[in-house]
Each structure stands twice: as C-alpha cells, then as structure tokens.
Amino acid sequence: MSGTPAQVPRSGRPLHGEPVLERAFRVLGAFTEAGEGLALHTLAARAGLPKSTTSRIAAQLTDVGALERLDNGDFVVGLQLLEIASLAPRGHGLRAAALPFMQDLHRVTGQHILLAVREGDEAVLVERLSARGAAAVKYRVGGRLPLIGTGIGIALLAHAPGRIRQEALAGADDAACVRRLLATVRTDGVCAVTVPNPLRSGPTAMSTVAAPILNRRGDALGALSLVAPDEGGPRTAAVTALRRASLAISRAAGP
C-alpha cells in the first residue's frame, strides 16, 4: 500500500504560506511504488504543485541525493533517503531484533510475515518476508496500512493511546467487532481476523494472525503478523507461533 496521498488544493497551487520543506515532502510523497520513475508533469500533479515549483524543488532534492534523475528525464527516489531511513530506531532497530524470528516463521509457514510500527493513526510496514508461491498482498515495505481493517493494525491499535483508539472506532463500520478484537489482543496477546482481499487477483479473503510487540512497560514497539489465504482451517498453531515470536522479539528488543 502506498503512503497517505497528499492533500492537493483544487487550484493546483501550493497552500498559502506553506513552507518549502513541506512542499519538498509533498514531492517525495508522490512516489508510491518501489523503483517507480515519475515524469515532471506526473510528479507535479501528484504533489499538487505547479510544474515550475516542482521542477525547482526536484532539482534541489536531486542535488542532495534525495532524488535521482534517469536518462529519460524521469525522477526516482535517491539512495540518500535509504541511507537516512535505515537509521530510524523505531523501524531499523526493531527490524534487527525481529528478523531472525520472522525468518523462522517464514520458513515454517511459507506465507507473508509482516512487521509494522504505528505512526499516528496508521501503521507503517517496516519489513515483509514473502514466499514466491504465496498469494499476492497489497502492502509494501515503507507503505502505510489502516489500523482498522488489518490484523496488524488491530494489534497496534489495542495498545495505542485512547484518543487514537476512539478516533479509529468512530470511523469503523462495525465498532463492536473491533472492540472485541482489541480486547482479545489485550487479554490474549494475539488476534485472528479474516478480511476481504483488497487485490482483485488471488483469493477473495485473506486471514491474518497478529500480535503486538511490547516493551517492559507494556507499550507497543510494533506488531507482527502472518498473512495467508483464508482456507477456513484451524488457526491454533499460527496463533501460538505468533504469540511466542512476539514475546521473543520483545525480549530481544530490550526495554
């Protein structure tokens, strides 16, 4: 899943008084797929900025390595961003602690194993291990997921601040069901959900087992999930495996 789309003014011009840094992030936020190259006019349209403004900002971002320009003139995300992002403690530090346990789950299940952290009212996917034969999933590393409607989002929401939970519940189609899932996460440390597949191809429904990763104070560092086609079979083994893995990652991640 791509990041949250920029709010584009109807006029197509920047918001009055909008700082240059915010415009630069709107340009960077226009990229939604790994390896994607964007022509200037597409970059401007997605960022909601005039072409002249986009051209100037993109040139500055290219000068510092945040963007790179291909021979055909398209812009791509630069390696400088990868170098900086790899230092993010909430993503990279947790990923380092979780990866050995994710690899074990991946080898045993042959399905998608996801790791995410909460950022405001969304989840950000920081790692995904996927088997070649696993059903396609929508969400990519670095992409954002809703807290409602995804198992890993529910696992994070269960330990989010009360304001975040209330706002999410206010927008839920079935708030009572979400409350039951949140209670299950808090009492059992894991939840299992089945949701419609957001992709048109593949299975019509996907099953997710998810567990929060907590520090010693009980705060959520992130969440772990296993995503697979819904086959209506027993989930006991997956629930047990996810719960054990989340506890092991919590210990490995430290306080």
Low-confidence ranges of the chain (pLDDT < 70): 1-18, 34, 86-92, 133, 232-234, 255
Co-location of 185 and 202 in the same domain = yes
Question: pLDDT tens across 117-169, in order?
Answer: 999 999 999 999 987 767 777 778 888 889 998 899 999 999 999 999 999 99
In a domain, 231, yes or no: yes
Question: pLDDT tens across 225-247, in order?
Answer: 998 887 765 578 889 999 999 99
pLDDT of residue 74: 93
Co-location of 53 and 174 in the same domain = no
Co-location of 71 and 180 in the same domain = no
Specify the number of domains making up the chain.
2
pLDDT of residue 5: 44
Final residue in a domain of this structure, among 35, 61, 83: 83
pLDDT of residue 4: 44
In a domain, 121, yes or no: yes
Co-location of 54 and 97 in the same domain = no
- Closest by CA to 65, choosing from 51, 76, 54, is 76
Structural domain range at position 163: 89-253
Co-location of 74 and 176 in the same domain = no
CATH code: domain of residue 115: 3.30.450.40
Query: What pTM was estimated for this model as a whole?
Result: 0.70
Q: How far apart are CA 255 and CA 251, in angstroms?
A: 8
Co-location of 239 and 176 in the same domain = yes
Co-location of 171 and 63 in the same domain = no
Co-location of 68 and 160 in the same domain = no
